[in-house]
Amino acid sequence: MTASQTSGILVITRHSESEWNLVGKWTGLTDVNLTDKGRADSVLLGKQLHDIDFDGVYTSTLKRTQQTLEGIYAGKGQPTPPFSQSKALNERDYGDMTGKNKWEVQAEVGDEAFIGIRRGWEYPVPGGENLKAVYERAIPYFKTEILPRLQHGENILIVSHGNTIRALMKYLDSISDSGIEKVEMPFTSILIYTFTRDKELPVRKETRSIETTSTHA
């Protein structure tokens, strides 16, 4: 493979089930732990990645991503490597919604407003961030810190959060503002993108998944 064809692999996965996911609360920046199930599922994620060695690992500053990383490497049968953590990869700040039960809010505000708060691109979140705001912090960080490593043929793992990953997907998969409202990032999914030296966007995408009974998002 020539230098111009050198490919790097980007793997993105969401943290596994947290204590607040289990009870249906909007978590945002609240720094909660994984559940026992979340810890077990993170090991399964690692087993799905047994064939990929990573040159760099990135998480948010929140411990549920770092606990997931520990589980992933346990599943790979390797010690947890040094990793970089950044607020740019943190979950959305849900502002006034933080700590509220999602399904109770849905009953209070109606389906349209609920979907807007939960999945909308620019829908206002009182005291917090919409998805556009997450995009505006996550994508510059990705382009500056991670993309050059991928273009030089390195393999990179990102363990982040549902909405932050949706922001990354919007960029990597060229999804429209309206289209991103329909995009989910389940706990079960692993996204694998292949990059080449001369392109900013991936040239190939693969999805892997684990078997889990978790339904919380």
Describe the strand order of the beta sheet including 189-196 as a list of residue ranges: 84-85, 56-59, 156-160, 7-14, 189-196, 204-209
Cβ neighbourhood burial of 91 (10 Å; 0-12, 13-18, 19+) = buried
Dump pLDDT digits (tens) for 91-114. Answer: 999 999 999 999 999 999 999 999
- Whether the pLDDT of residue 160 is over 80: the answer is yes
At the second CATH level, the architecture of 1-25+43-92+138-217 is 3-Layer(aba) Sandwich (3.40)
Please tell me which residue in 15, 17, 129, 161 is annotated as part of the active site.
Answer: 15
pLDDT tier at 213, thresholds 50, 70, 90: low
91 catalytically annotated? yes
Task: Tell me which amino acid residue 180 is.
Answer: I
Place of tokens 């990573």: 54
- Whether the pLDDT of residue 2 is over 80: the answer is no
15 catalytically annotated? yes
Q: Residue 36 in contact with residue 182, Cβ under 8 Å?
A: no
Dump pLDDT digits (tens) for 36-54. Answer: 999 999 999 999 999 999 9
- Whether the pLDDT of residue 148 is over 70: the answer is yes
Give 169-172 contacts, CB < 8 A, sequence gap 24+. Answer: 170/131, 170/135, 171/135, 171/139, 171/142, 172/10, 172/201, 172/202, 172/205
Task: Tell me which amino acid residue 107 is.
Answer: A
Rounded CA gap, 21 and 154, in Å? 33
Please tell me which residue in 17, 50, 70, 91 is annotated as part of the active site.
Answer: 91
What is residue 5's predicted lDDT score, i.e. its pLDDT?
58
Tell me the domain boundaries of the chain: 1-25+43-92+138-217, 94-128
Q: Residue 119 in contact with residue 169, Cβ under 8 Å?
A: no
Rounded CA gap, 205 and 168, in Å? 13
Give the pLDDT mean for 75-102. 97
Tokens representing 79 are 């010690």
